[in-house]
Structure 1
Amino acid sequence: MGKKPITADIIDKCSEYYRSDKNNKVYSDAVMRNGLVEVSLNHDSIKNMHFDFSDEIEVGRVTAQKKTARCWMFAALNTVRYSISHSLKMKEVDFQLSQNYIYFWDKFEKSNLFLENIIETIDRELSDHEVAGLLKEPQSDCGQWDMFAKLIEKYGVAPLYAMPETQSCTDSKIINEIVNEKLRQGAKELRDMHRSGKPLKEIEDHKEYILMDMYNIICHFLGEPPDKFDFEYRDLDGVFHRDKDITPLEFYHKYSKVKPIDYISIINFPTDDKPFGNTYSLKYLGNVVDDEPIKYLNLDIEVLRQLTIAQIKDGEQVVFGCDVGKMSHRGLGILDINLYNYEAVLNTKFNMTKKDRLMYRGTSLTHVMTFTGVNLVDGKPNRWKIQNSWGEAEGKKGFYIMSDRWFDEYVFKVIINKKHISNEILKQYEKAPIILSPWDQVGPLF
């Protein structure tokens, strides 16, 4: 069957359809002058999304990831810093953990994983779709809870003052360009050695040399991570505390109540190819090279909702992943599926379900934040409080609000402490993961 071009007859029919409703011209003029967002904004939604919650956690001030894709890192560190400041009754409301410290080790570990994947695929042609995928973006800022878990268990954490933010932590464009360029160069060197007949041991030794070069480069952008530091703070009673010469790993084990081993990742991807009750992973997914695959348990959205409520009511925030750009207003800090009257203004219908949008690539996990509150009416939620990582200028001092219907449509992942999870669900999580394509919708690293 041949492809059919647009003809004058088709254009006439389209024009007739547009002109058949006189409201189309009125709305078109309004949209062209003011933009779709302002014209379609539903003020009833704004009135309903107020910052009062039956259950909430006071977690301190919002942080700012700035021009980087480190939301996953900020959200995870927010849970750890709250557990530390709350348990120690710290006076410092601005206490933060060093995002730069975790960022450094993530960059270094991703460099190693990339080079290991290059060695694993070294017999394939450059045109191989998986090799091409690896080379397209050797590493990036993006990640998720399970990757954070591997980093914190291996390297610990440090206060912000022990390794402060740098220019490349506020705008990561150049560091990513340089690191990726060097990693591609390293990939070429390793592949050239293989094609010239060099033994595997020699190739692996050269990989270590490349890693030394990568460490040097990353230090130029981020500084070298501290071996030890003095942990100093004043508590609410005014008493000053100092813990001298503590390592980041000792600091983590001694002071953080949040231990990643106690949590699992639960997702909601209601597509035909991912039946509920199974675990899933992606080929090449990760940052730290080890024997434990990153995996997610796929369950019905109602399970995610009830587990999230239970954890908040227990006094602990919940890290979650979502598609933050859909039906949201950044300045107002509102996420609500009724926020815009798109159908009325554009005189059209949008009827795809969450399943449809996933299968047709219309939605994906694009951002990670933390739930810090929920408003329950007769035991059922109608809105949620969110701690974001975009600074304090938007929303309510950086906090956002989400309707429960938005939760259904655009929340894809929650990180839940095992103590809130039934034995039946835990048994499902123990299943060996089904390995998906590296480009599956489950996999965007945010």
Structure 2
Amino acid sequence: MTKSISTAQLKNFKNLLEKRNDHRVLERTVTQNGILASSCDYRAKVNTTPVFSIDLDTGKVADQKRSGRCWMFAALNTLRHDLRNRLNLPDEFELSQNFTFFWDKLEKANYFYENILQTADFPTSDRKVSWLLATPQQDGGQWDMIMGLIEKYGVVPKSAMPETHNSSASSEFNSLLNLKLRKDAVLLRELVQNKATKAQIEAKKEKMLAEVYRMAAYSFGEPPATFDFEYRDQANNYHLDRNLTPKEFFDKYLGWETKDYISVINGPTDDKPFNHMYTVDMLGNVVGGREVRHLNVDMDTFKKLAIKQLEAGESVWFGCDVGQASDRKQGIMDTELYHRDQLFDVDLSMSKAERLDYGESLMTHAMVLTGVDLLDGQPTKWKVENSWGDKVGTKGFFVMTDDWMNEYCYQIVINKNFLPDELKEVLKEEPKVLAPWDPMGSLA
């Protein structure tokens, strides 16, 4: 039965507030300074000094600017760390994020078209169809998606395909492309419902993809088929390698076994028992390419794997909910940073599983672990390379407390060689398919 707020209740609420001796002080504080500033604990700064017992030298941070490419920047950063160390490259060296961005937009358009065709007989009110149409594509992604692009197209240095206005500020392009994809969805669904032949549907889809290619080329520039790799190393020695294809460059200068790097998650909800494999329905970009696969483990195992990889000198791609208990300017991620519960005298406590199940948290951002502070073998805080430029944090690097990692980190990427034998066996199992809207399918 519907029950509205009564006049008597309103009077009681007011009386309860008036009985609090501090309510006028707190009202003045919060109204003038805001909730976060009023609840901020200065001791968080003391507890997050940027000093670490394991600290990898990774050069200068990158800047994704006004785009949602953190997953892409973080992945390319892990690649460039390795390349920089082996070739003694300058600190400023970067791989082209614009190159992978171009191909991601084209591949996501094709992925969307395929999903629209597969669901063409469902009404637009169907949950899967409405989920597809809500955001046909976006800038975000996951580790397996960037690896799928690299496996198909390779990589190039940033000098071979620099940033453009639209790669650095992608909202205009995203708005236009999503408009086109929704319009194309109308046409593709009509073709299926009107019993068009497979050849007719494929011809229409190919025309649509050619239009997306043209839109992306105008906005980002066309990706190079070949390029020259020219640079001076940190000893000022000159190097030149001519006429490389992007795949030749990756194979020659990086040579990673991309399939060795796997997504490890911590999703402690009842529907995802630990030590099993998971995938997500309708999540991906390259049709017929690499499938998104997650190995779910407990948090203790999660952190031990990250530490192992850092101890071996390799940085770690990770995904988290960066907006929770963090200060962007100071570069602090600490569960003790703000005490909103104490400020308002309300219980705001939720478990990690509850936050996932009830929509309070999910992965929103990807960065790179480049260090950790160990005390008696246990982590106390972590060094984080962000992709928001060097004007935030400590020259672009953040400090994350270990408790913050426990609560708001959901994914790391680990070379499978660091897994214990029992988890290597788990990798062989057929993954359980999660719904498209599962929080483990969120895009960083």
TM-score by length of 1: 0.97
415, 426, 438: which one aligns with 1:428: 426
1:342 Cα deviation from its structure 2 partner: 1.8
Aligned residue runs from structure 1 range 23-34, under 5 A: 23-34=22-33
* 8 Å Cα contact 1:282-1:436 kept in structure 2: yes
* 8 Å Cα contact 1:68-1:169 kept in structure 2: yes
> What residue identity is the alignment partner of 1:44?
R
175, 178, 187: which one aligns with 1:177: 175
234, 237, 248: which one aligns with 2:235: 237
Aligned residue runs from structure 1 range 7-406, under 5 A: 7-90=6-89, 92-290=90-288, 292-406=290-404
* 8 Å Cα contact 2:68-2:140 kept in structure 1: yes
Q: Distance in 2 between matches of 1:86 and 1:259?
A: 18
| Bigger Cα displacement from structure 2, 184-193 vs 48-57 | 184-193
Q: Distance in 2 between matches of 1:211 and 1:81?
A: 31
Moved over 6 A (4+): none
Q: Distance in 2 between matches of 1:385 and 1:271?
A: 27
Render the CA deviation track for 1:301-341: whole Å, top value 9, x for unaligned. Answer: 11110000111111011000001011111111000001112
1:292 Cα deviation from its structure 2 partner: 4.5
| Bigger Cα displacement from structure 2, 385-394 vs 337-346 | 337-346
Q: Distance in 1 between matches of 2:429 and 2:15?
A: 57
Q: Distance in 2 between matches of 1:29 and 1:334?
A: 27
Q: Distance in 2 between matches of 1:372 and 1:64?
A: 17
* 8 Å Cα contact 2:147-2:290 kept in structure 1: no
Q: Distance in 1 between matches of 2:293 and 2:11?
A: 53
Secondary structure of 1:445 counterpart: coil
* Structure 2 gaps, min length 5: none
1:196 Cα deviation from its structure 2 partner: 2.6
* 8 Å Cα contact 1:80-1:257 kept in structure 2: no
Secondary structure of 1:80 counterpart: helix
1:235 Cα deviation from its structure 2 partner: 2.2
Secondary structure of 2:231 counterpart: strand
Secondary structure of 1:143 counterpart: coil
> What residue identity is the alignment partner of 2:12?
K
Q: Distance in 2 between matches of 1:144 and 1:11?
A: 48
1:139 Cα deviation from its structure 2 partner: 0.8
* 8 Å Cα contact 2:144-2:290 kept in structure 1: no
Count of residue correspondences = 444
Secondary structure of 1:265 counterpart: strand
Q: Distance in 2 between matches of 1:277 and 1:20?
A: 52
* 8 Å Cα contact 2:148-2:289 kept in structure 1: no
1:48 Cα deviation from its structure 2 partner: 1.2
1:177 Cα deviation from its structure 2 partner: 1.1
> What residue identity is the alignment partner of 2:207?
Y
* 8 Å Cα contact 1:157-1:249 kept in structure 2: yes
| Bigger Cα displacement from structure 2, 275-284 vs 256-265 | 256-265
Q: Distance in 2 between matches of 1:116 and 1:355?
A: 33
Secondary structure of 1:350 counterpart: coil
* 8 Å Cα contact 2:277-2:294 kept in structure 1: yes
* Structure 1 gaps, min length 5: none
Secondary structure of 2:65 counterpart: coil
* 8 Å Cα contact 1:83-1:257 kept in structure 2: no
Q: Distance in 2 between matches of 1:253 and 1:65?
A: 26
Render the CA deviation track for 1:113-139: whole Å, top value 9, x for unaligned. Answer: 111111111222222221122122111
| Bigger Cα displacement from structure 2, 35-44 vs 390-399 | 35-44
Render the CA deviation track for 1:362-403: whole Å, top value 9, x for unaligned. Answer: 111010000000001111111110000111111001100000
1:291 Cα deviation from its structure 2 partner: 5.8
Render the CA deviation track for 1:22-48: whole Å, top value 9, x for unaligned. Answer: 123212211111112222211111111
| Bigger Cα displacement from structure 2, 133-142 vs 54-63 | 133-142
Q: Distance in 1 between matches of 2:344 and 2:256?
A: 47
Counterpart position of 2:441? 443
TM-score by length of 2: 0.98
> What residue identity is the alignment partner of 1:7?
S
| Bigger Cα displacement from structure 2, 174-183 vs 286-295 | 286-295
Secondary structure of 1:181 counterpart: helix
